[in-house]
Each structure stands twice: as structure tokens, then as C-alpha cells.
Structure 1
Amino acid sequence: MVKKESDAIMGLEIERKYLVKHDLWKALFKPQGVNYRQGYLLSDKEKTIRVRATDLHGFITIKGKTTGLSRLEYEYQIPLSEAIELLDTFTQNNIDKIRYKIDFEGKIWEIDVFSGANEGLIVAEIELESESEKYLIPEWVDTEVTHDKRYYNSNLSETPFKNW
């Protein structure tokens, strides 16, 4: 991602997504997680527009169509009060989760522990510099689900994990 003067993060997002082994995750020392609430203003196969609120910040994110492991992503910080108002007024079926960031072998893994309608789902994501980048997989990481669209957050808001 490239930081622009406008405080937008833009660039090419390249990530892989995995399920997490619950028993090993529970035993793992975890740093403090961050609460996320997110919803979608637009979600179709070509693009998504997401609003996200943490305890301290708000964000609006525009993502393009995924090709391979990559897609364009533009993210802007917005006032938290506006993020909450957008979530309350313009989105439905919001996703709630706690995100943990864990450094493993020099790469940051983001682990999302979902609640609400997606309770029981734990997903780990790793962002890469290129689609061919090599990396080590922690023992608590399980099956890759990068190409399984059911695990896209935008799809989890429409068809939650509890309904599978």
C-alpha cells in the first residue's frame, strides 16, 4: 500500500486467507485485539464500498474486482461519528469481529474472530508484496480459503456463517 498526502491508502492488495485451527488458536498467546464493526454500501462482483468503525477510528474503503490474489484498494480515514452514522443508516447485516495482529517469521498475520451471525468463524489473512511471494505458515493456520467466496466479508454480511 502507498500512503498519499490525502491520508488515503491506495494500491494493490494481495492477500491469502485461511481458516484457523480453533484448539491451537485458543492456546496461543494473543496481543490485544481491536473491535471492528463493518458494513457495505455497495457489494457486487466488480467492486465493494465498505464502511468500518473501530473503537477509535472510522474508515471508508473501495475495493475493485479480485483477479488472482490481487485487487485495487483505496482506504480513507473518516471521523468515527460519521462511520457509525453510515453504518446505522446505510448498511444492513453488519459484521462484528475482533482483529488480532500476530508477527510470524517477519510477516504480519491478521486474525479475525467473528461474533454475532458469524460466531465460530476464525479467519487468518496475510498480505503479500507479490502473488508469488513465499512465506511460512504458522501451525495454528489450517485450510486455505482464498478463492472460496463464502469467506469474503461482503458475502458473510449477506450469508452469515451460522446459515451454512
Structure 2
Amino acid sequence: MKQQEIERKFLVKSDGWRGKGSTELFRQGYIARTQDRTVRVRVAGERGILTIKYRGKGIARNEFEYDIPLDEAQALLDGLDPGEIIEKLRHTFTCEDSVWEVDEFLGANAGLVVAEIELESEDQPFVRPEWLGEEVSKVSRYLNVELSRLPYTAWTREEKAGRKNS
């Protein structure tokens, strides 16, 4: 299924989001990546998912996503270097009439908590919950594909504080 994804991403500054909605464990890795395209395999609970994304304009990306058999998704992940696998708990809930996904990263990315909201347009208005911190939509190191290459625990103190926006 092809769709355009317009997603804004934010750091989370407090625990005001905790205890809302549902939580699911995600394991994912990238079986192919270039400058402007990625092919990701994900195990989300009991689902296997293959996703192809490529850059659009601004923060918009084109996305094709397909369910695949769970055992095949696990086999694809097993073929990757364990250090390239991202594990996170995804918390999904509605807040102020918007659906939010808060990713609480585990393993090599432990300590990083990021909130995402999908929008119909880049300039669509939404209410910013009080627990939302700095926007990092255009900061590439917060992309999951980049976190699989250079995990959060390997960042310098300055990078974690946001003083380097690579």
C-alpha cells in the first residue's frame, strides 16, 4: 500500500504521557539503505511488516508497507548484525484529538524517548501536549535508520544535549 507519510518527531521532556493507551514491543532492522531509500523489516507484537520508504519533499516521505509472515520477518532480522537491530516499546494513544506514538528505546538506544504525530500536511495545526519537548523532525540522527548505525548510547554528551544537529 502506497501512502505519503508526514510525520513530526519530538523529544519527550517528562512522563506525562505514561499510562495512556496501548504498548507494543517492536524489533526492527534495515535490510537495505541508500541516501534516500530504506527497506525495513519489523516485528511488531505478532505481526511481520516489510516497509519501503523514500524521501519526498520536506518531512514528507513515500511509504509502502506490507504484512509478511511473522517467521519470515524474524528470519530477516536474524540475518542482520545484532547491533543493527532496534528494539523499542511503542506507546500509542490519543491526546488532544491527535494520535501520538511515543517510542521508548531499549538496548543500545536506551534512554532515548521520542514522540511522533502523523499529519495530513506539514503545516497542520495540533495541540502540543505539556510533556512534548524539542522538535527533531529534521535532525537526521533521530531517524531509526540512523539509530541502527550510531545508537544513542554512543552519542557524545553534546549530541545528546542537542548542540550538534547533524
Q: What is the TM-score normalised by the length of structure 2?
A: 0.88
Task: Describe the SS at the equivalent of 1:134.
Answer: coil
Deviation at 1:89, TM superposition (A): 1.2
Question: What's the counterpart of residue 55 of structure 2?
Answer: 65
User: Is residue 35 of structure 1 aligned with residue 25 of structure 2?
Assistant: yes
**Aligned partners of 2:99 and 2:61: how far apart in 1?**
19
User: Is residue 20 of structure 1 aligned with residue 18 of structure 2?
Assistant: no
**Aligned partners of 2:94 and 2:16: how far apart in 1?**
16
* RMSD (Å), alpha carbons: 1.3
Relative to structure 2, which stretch is displaced further, 87-96 or 9-18? 87-96
Would you identify which runs of 4 or more consecutive aligned residues in structure 1 move more than 3 Å?
22-25
User: Is residue 139 of structure 1 aligned with residue 134 of structure 2?
Assistant: no
Residue deviations 1:93-147 (CA, integer Å, cap 9, x gap): 1000000112012110110000000000000000000112111110111000000
Check the 8 A contact 2:31/2:39 in 1, yes or no. yes
**Aligned partners of 2:99 and 2:72: how far apart in 1?**
29
Relative to structure 2, which stretch is displaced further, 29-38 or 54-63? 29-38
Q: Any gaps of 5 or more consecutive residues in structure 1? A: 1-8
Identity level (%)? 45
Task: Describe the SS at the equivalent of 1:24.
Answer: coil
Q: What is the TM-score normalised by the length of structure 1?
A: 0.89
**Aligned partners of 1:139 and 1:158: how far apart in 2?**
31
Q: Any gaps of 5 or more consecutive residues in structure 2? A: 156-166
Check the 8 A contact 2:14/2:132 in 1, yes or no. no
**Aligned partners of 1:98 and 1:16: how far apart in 2?**
18
**Aligned partners of 1:155 and 1:38: how far apart in 2?**
13
Question: What's the counterpart of residue 3 of structure 1?
Answer: none
Q: What letter matches 2:48 in structure 1?
A: G
User: Is residue 163 of structure 1 aligned with residue 154 of structure 2?
Assistant: yes
Question: What's the counterpart of residue 100 of structure 1?
Answer: 91
**Aligned partners of 1:81 and 1:150: how far apart in 2?**
30
Question: What's the counterpart of residue 127 of structure 1?
Answer: 118
